[in-house]
A and B are shown apart, each in its own frame.
Chain A
């Protein structure tokens, strides 16, 4: 081959390479720091290599991220091309016109949008438009210690137990002298902390946040019964200083063998059942979160998902990444590189049917069934004007939820009575809802 030909071919090759990367873009993703997102960050260079695009990761603590992304999206700041948001934000922000619609994902046969559970898609949609695609979804269920149940002579429930039965179990299991607490539940104030559990507990007791006319119902007998039960359960059978315990603290206590029961996120199951991380991996099993007056809304629903702000100028590249990061192939890639137990759960039917997942994480089926037992559109015994199980999908809920969380936490700490806490909460909620125009 002549030198001229070699040169020509080299230049053509170089030209093609340049052309393919000429449209290469840099996108910025705002996300939280959790295991699933760490895995995504580790695998993302494969997408970068494939497309020539690059990613800037902005990793923030959940509350800081929520505040930072809200501020940017509400002011049309355009700092981010992709945001990691929850099931609370997606419909509200979508309705406000702050997010790019992802309806066109349905036209891509390879992506197979229908494979994502309908329930999860509904939770991330508003007015029939899809605004985010999920990485993982979760509900809550009961983690329990099989060895302690056996020792105390308690049969593991095969049907959904009641909260009355649950307290009886906690009483039998409670052994603080040997460092075992009957139950560990969230006590740290915040709408995403104690109110996640308390919200589902209230649902079980037949309570609701608002009636059909958006009148707050926090002064109702149902709320009183629920919070009285919560304070009694935690005071008698919970660990000391429970008002400081959120998800992380309880997860640490459970993994360290200090809790006999714990009602919390299904997404923690992988970690608890991983012998490398947990002392109780082999003696932990799960049953549904208890019911009481009703079985509606007894397990929460949450989904972490990826969305594109309307202010992004690189929406096409962002969509390309979203498709890659929530595709069937991505979940399989996680299974093959990080182990099937690390695959994010609760999003794609095909992944939940994969025998490799069922073998590595036999509890995946329990998680799927638990997620399917939740209906955010019908979360309470009595009719309500809102959607959301442990939250109410309106912008005002963050403030109200945080306030009620503080009141409940103060009642748990013994700083005020349950009645006072609920009276304060009701007064605050009425004021906020009137200010926001829901109550005329």
Chain B
């Protein structure tokens, strides 16, 4: 039976949720506002910026004229999508093994994988940089795809492991009894049932890889630089580039925001997969 909620509670909940939502979106909203101002207006006091200055798209034009947005965008797409799908190819069998044929050390392995996320990335920067230098992977999309795949691998495996654990092992057993091979079992039985979970894992990892700024800035120069490097090129401690920096930021986050907007249903469904079962 549905729990009755008073109108007062509804209004209060809506107000609290609305306020929290506004606070969360405010930085992006402010960046959007600054991107539509001239450099001189962008540095004024907040109220003046809002009510006492004009609006212009000049910064977007200037950014596009000075930098090759599409080259950076293309690099971001390849690196984030590539690292996610490469990661999935390894993570799905790994998560299957841990969820359905766990060994004595499965939990330790899972914890060990998670522990790699606890190491500050700068701690391994120099060794990785030297390996990349010697293997010719510096400033290459392949190198960056590999690094981001490895960095996000623990999260992919953990998420998939959690989803797979929710799927009854008996269904897989039934498939096996019907003569399904291991490959068929994973591809045609397990994967279709875990689609919401896999989809949300894919989306979350694309977002993480898209926004990753430490490795993408340190391992690239001109050829493989993604949109994070594009944003960084408009930051300056000497000279005013707030409007252009804001325009570059909006251009960099717009694709991932749009992707998130259209797939939010899928993302929420996947993230609450276990809870609603």
Contact = CB atoms under 8 A, between A and B. Distances in A.
Given A71-B129, A75-B129, A33 B235 contact: yes
Name which of A256, A265, A267 has the most chain B CB atoms within 10 A of its CB.
A256
Interface stretch (A17-25, A60-68, A147-155, A428-436): A60-68
Contacts of A28: 221-222
A60 B232 CA distance: 6
Interface in A52-89: 56-64, 68, 71, 75-80
A60 B239 CA distance: 13
Interface residues of A, number: 39
A178 interface: no
Interface residues of B, number: 30
Interface stretch (A125-133, A211-219, A243-251, A328-336): A243-251
Contacts of B240: 248, 251-252
B236 A56 contact: no
Contacts, number: 89
Secondary structure of the A contact surface, majority rule: mixed
A277 interface: yes
Contact of B238 (A59, A76, A248, A255): A248
Contact of A77 (B138, B233, B236, B237): B138
Interface in A242-276: 246-248, 251-252, 255-256, 265, 267-268, 271
Given A75-B129, A252-B43, A80 B221 contact: yes
B237 A75 contact: no
A77 to B, nearest CB: 5
Given A56-B223, A57-B222, A58-B225, A78 B133 contact: yes
A13 B217 CA distance: 44
Given A78-B133, A79-B138, A256-B43, A34 B218 contact: no
B236 A79 contact: no
Given A38-B66, A79-B221, A61 B235 contact: yes
A391 to B, nearest CB: 15
A167 to B, nearest CB: 27
Interface in B145-161: none
A32 interface: yes
Contacts of B241: 33
Contacts of B40: 255, 277
Contacts of A271: 239
B43 to A, nearest CB: 4
5 contacts: A33-B239, A59-B232, A60-B233, A64-B235, A71-B218
- Interchain residue pairs A-B with the least CB separation, the first 4: A56-B222, A59-B233, A61-B235, A252-B43
